[in-house]
Amino acid sequence: MRIETFLQTLVFGLFTGGIYGVAAMGLALVFGVLKMLNIAHGELVMLGGYVSFWVFSAFGIDPFASLVIVIPALFIVGLALDRTVYRHIVRLLGEEKIKNSMLVSFGLTLVLQNLAQWLFTADERSIQVAYAGDGFNIYGVLLPYTRLATLGIALAAILALNYFLHKTYPGKAILATAEDFESAELAGINIHRVYMMTFALGASLAAIAGTFVTVTYGLSPSIGIIWTLKALIVIVLAGTGSILGAFPAGILLGVVEALSGTFIDPSYHEVVGLVIFILVLIVRPQGLFTRK
């Protein structure tokens, strides 16, 4: 294999992993703080993609510029879902919370899928920007502008989230609640407000991933379960307690899938990701970016 082919595969795996990482960070944030599993997270990715597609189709706004509309829109959706669907579940404890959150979010998945199909039909949609085929060519390695934009915005999102969580009072309240919600409440933190903000932030990260998916892949009402599965794999790789570790774990998964598709067989790249998922569960169940 030529070195250019290897580097091209590595670069595209890096770009794909960036999308995996952003999608997984939203789910990791909700799971780490609220301690519940939102199976409908992939549907939030799908909704974010459709909002971006609608803004582009109706007003001609560039999908990356439309993030200033898409992110607040999904933030509001997250607030609404927390207040109407999840507010009673977060009061439960332990296995009961996990079980009920899975059942409720599975029902929400079906509702959002059917809603998207009713509004947008089952046809696959995508956004074709004028510069989609352009990019830098460095020593035979193509770096498309759209992919560079997705990776750049993804890195900006992880840095912004890191700053928010560690340098602001609301962010520190989120981390404190994730560590011990009872102690946080005794310290005067309104944990129910923290839960609401956390879910809305998770939906906002899903909105970013949804825009990336619409630009680089394609969009249909049924893609949610695929992105939920990808996010779950990434969370296990990072460790269920690692919110920020989801991004490098997503990069790792994207690169491994890309290389396995080149060196083994393109039809097996999904299987390789699942094999790594199982191996991490067996060998290092706490994940790659958390301690025991």
Q: What are the boundaries of each domain within the chain?
A: 18-223
The two three-digit tokens of residue 94, written as one number: 């332990």
Q: Which of 103-107, 164-168, 236-240 has the lowest mean pLDDT?
A: 236-240
Distances in Å between the Cα of 114 and the Cα atoms of 65, 66, 89, 154, 205 are 28, 25, 24, 29, 22
Residue 149: predicted pLDDT: 92
Residue 123: predicted pLDDT: 85
Residue 200: predicted pLDDT: 94
Q: Which whole number is the average pLDDT over 60-83?
A: 93
Residue 256: predicted pLDDT: 87
Is it the case that residue 292 has pLDDT exceeding 70?
A: no
Residue 34: predicted pLDDT: 86
Beta-carbon count within 10 A of 97 CB: 17
Question: Which single residue is written with the structure tokens 């958390």?
Answer: 290
Whats the size of the chain, residue-wise? 292
Q: How sure is the predictor about 109, in pLDDT bands with cuts at 50, 70 and 90?
A: very high
The two three-digit tokens of residue 107, written as one number: 């029902």
Element containing residue 142 per DSSP (H, E): strand 141-144
Is it the case that residue 283 has pLDDT exceeding 70?
A: yes
Residue 150: predicted pLDDT: 93
Is it the case that residue 138 has pLDDT exceeding 60?
A: yes
More confident residue, 94 or 225: 225
Beta-carbon count within 10 A of 254 CB: 24
Residue 291: predicted pLDDT: 60
Q: Which amino acid is at 177?
A: T
Is it the case that residue 41 has pLDDT exceeding 90?
A: yes
Mean pLDDT of the chain, nearest integer: 88
Compute the distance between CA of residue 20 and CA of residue 234 in angstroms, rounded to an integer: 7
pLDDT digits (tens, 9 = 90+) for 155-182: 999 999 999 999 999 999 999 988 888 8
Output the CA torsion sign for 113, 118, 119, 123. Answer: positive
Q: Which amino acid is at 288?
A: L
Predicted TM-score (pTM) of the model is 0.92
Instruction: Provide the 3-class DSSP secondary structure of residue 31.
Output: helix
Is it the case that residue 144 has pLDDT exceeding 80?
A: yes
Q: Please give the share of the chain, as a percent, with pLDDT higher than 90.
A: 45
R_g (Cα) of the chain, nearest Å: 19
Is it the case that residue 71 has pLDDT exceeding 90?
A: yes
Is it the case that residue 2 has pLDDT exceeding 80?
A: no
Beta-carbon count within 10 A of 71 CB: 21
Instruction: Provide the 3-class DSSP secondary structure of residue 260.
Output: helix
Q: Which whole number is the average pLDDT over 86-113?
A: 85
User: Would you put residue 140 in left (φ > 0), alpha (ψ -120 to 50) or beta?
Assistant: left
Q: Which whole number is the average pLDDT over 228-248?
A: 86
Element containing residue 237 per DSSP (H, E): helix 224-238
Residue 86: predicted pLDDT: 85
Is it the case that residue 8 has pLDDT exceeding 90?
A: no
Q: Between helices 191-216 and 41-59, what is the axis angle to 10°? A: 60
